[in-house]
Amino acid sequence: DYAAARTFGFLIEVETLKANGLARGGSLDNAVVIGDDGILNEGGLRYADEFVRHKIMDSVGDLSLAGYSLVGHVKAYKSGHDLNHKLVTEILSRPDCWKLVDSGSYTASTAVAPLASADLAWSEA
């Protein structure tokens, strides 16, 4: 279950966002806030891996902006909206790395071998 995983951020960032008129709908009910001494939310995290679950939801949502259902495997390290956007942009700019498959004829064997893999990697170090 990933849908109940909340977005998260640091208290100092929340204060800055709110001071600039942003994050107006954010609260301890719908976001995990981390202060100097740990998580500020009463009851803590909903799941031990709530941050990871939310990152998975972010990635699924970001990749859906490609406009198609994607069949594939994504392995991400320190991903975020910006990196996910770069991935979608790169994939769509490389027609040699993907193909459209009619959903009615799709089977698990349709996508057994990737069309490309290693050259779609970034290091933001």
Active site residues: 81
What six digits make up the tokens of 74?
A: 């994504």
Q: Are strands 7-10 and 31-35 parallel, antiparallel or unpaired?
A: parallel
User: How is the beta sheet containing 31-35 ordered, strand by strand?
Assistant: 7-10, 31-35, 38-39
Helix (H, G, I), strand (E, B) or coil at 33: strand
